[in-house]
Homo-oligomer: A and B are copies of this chain.
Amino acid sequence: MAFQPSERSRALETRVREFIAGSLLPVEAELLARNHRVNGHGDWRRWQLLPELQALKAQAKAEGLWNLFLPDPKLGAGLSTLEYAPLAEAMGHSLLAPELFNCNAPDTGNMEVLYHFGNAEQQARWLTPLLSGELRSVFCMTEPEVASSDATNMAATIERDGDQLVLNGHKWWSTGLGHPDAGIAIFMGLCDPQAEKHRRHAMVLVPLDTPGVTVERMLTACGDYDAPYGHGQLRFDNVRVPAANLIKGWGEGFAIAQGRLGPGRIHHCMRCLGAAERALDLMIERGLGREAFGRPLLKLGGNLERVAEARIAIDQARLLTLQAAWKIDTQGVRAAMTDIAAIKVAAPRVLQQVVEMAIQIHGGAGLCQDHPLMGFYAQARALRLADGPDEVHLASVARLELKKRRRA
């Protein structure tokens, strides 16, 4: 057992941290404010990319800080899940950071799907521009009419009609749909309702300009549209795509989702912990910089204990997440199921807890657009639901715990 990161992981993490600290954080407040002014409305067709962020993205790409999540050493950085984890944490320091390195959800997950399960043609057409950063993608899974935490509730359908696939369904929380470069969706639907539970679904690639695809609206998440990304609600009405757009195979949807699952969870959780570290930074900075009743805020009441509780909670959740990454790398996603469910509960909860503390220290400032705190809150809050609510993951952990004992 050893807790030091690999050399290449540490080296890349340092470069990512320096890039963020040196080039992004000094202008973050200004960029967030400008984005709020320019894109702070629900009319997603008018959302724009900030040129400053485009420039930073180009700079990161030029420096080779690009596609760091991809385990392939040719297309990406060739890091293991465990090695990439600290980089994801570093990117979590700012909500603006992941995209700069082409490492933002859901594109990372979608690229992984194409990388692992896409055929050469699919990769050439969609993976390549996603890797270059020209194209952006969405993932269409959750549905407004059913409790999507239970995948068997899914109502969207995929039918074969000759060499075409016909898609119908109503999807929402398709993050990134509002982005000006969004062009491709991965659509999950029922293809074989009579099959065994894990063989019923398929995933299909759907260009967003395909007839029958209608963007109904963008959803606010905790009051915010997350422009220019957005969380979209869209309808698929008899949408026809070539059968060649099927990923991996008929009935393979669940298997793909499982494969997509593990590393994505690690990324999400590590970003949460990076955000929690940032919130703790902000809390300490504010708490030392303002005074009330003759003392810095941080030295009043139980505030220093809150700093300690944050440190203890973050460090524990990080180690659990890193161990999950290590299990994925060394024993496979299946062996890591308890850990993958556990971190999904633990990491967003820690972020929410730390952000709550940080907001209290900031007073009204913590609630408003001047600080990234409410954005971090929304990140935690949304992640406690995205990809299954806490309660579903707690049920998984318990089920596996009982199963483990039955085997023993």
Binding site for B on A (CB under 8 A): 1-6, 36-37, 40-42, 82, 142, 144, 146-150, 153, 172-173, 219-224, 231, 280-281, 284, 288, 290-293, 297-298, 300-309, 311-312, 315-317, 319-320, 322-323, 326-327, 338-339, 342, 345-346, 359-360, 363-370, 374, 377-378, 381-382, 384-386, 389-399, 401-402, 405
In the assembled complex, the Cα of A173 lies from the Cα of B323 at a distance in Å of 38
Cβ contacts under 8 Å, A345 to chain B: 308, 312
| Contacts A1-B6, A3-B326, A311-B342 known; 10 new A-B pairs at CB < 8 A | A1-B5, A2-B326, A150-B292, A219-B369, A220-B224, A221-B367, A302-B391, A308-B396, A316-B317, A366-B385
Contact A395 to B308, CB < 8 A, known contacts A320-B319, A378-B223: yes
Contact A389 to B363, CB < 8 A, known contacts A150-B292, A311-B397: yes
A-B contact pairs, 23 of them (CB 8 A): A1-B4, A1-B326, A3-B323, A3-B327, A150-B292, A222-B222, A222-B223, A222-B374, A280-B401, A284-B401, A300-B395, A305-B394, A305-B395, A307-B398, A307-B401, A308-B345, A309-B394, A311-B397, A312-B342, A312-B345, A316-B346, A319-B323, A360-B389
Q: Are A290 and B2 in contact (CB under 8 A)?
A: no
In the assembled complex, the Cα of A82 lies from the Cα of B297 at a distance in Å of 35
Which residue of B has the minimal Cβ distance to A402?
B284
Please tell me which one of the listed residues B298, B327, B364 contacts residue A219 in the complex, with CB atoms under 8 A apart.
Answer: B364
Which residue of B has the minimal Cβ distance to A388?
B363
Which residue of B has the minimal Cβ distance to A288?
B402
Q: Are A308 and B401 in contact (CB under 8 A)?
A: yes
Cβ contacts under 8 Å, A381 to chain B: 359, 367
Cβ contacts under 8 Å, A401 to chain B: 280, 284, 307-308, 311
Cβ contacts under 8 Å, A42 to chain B: 36-37, 40
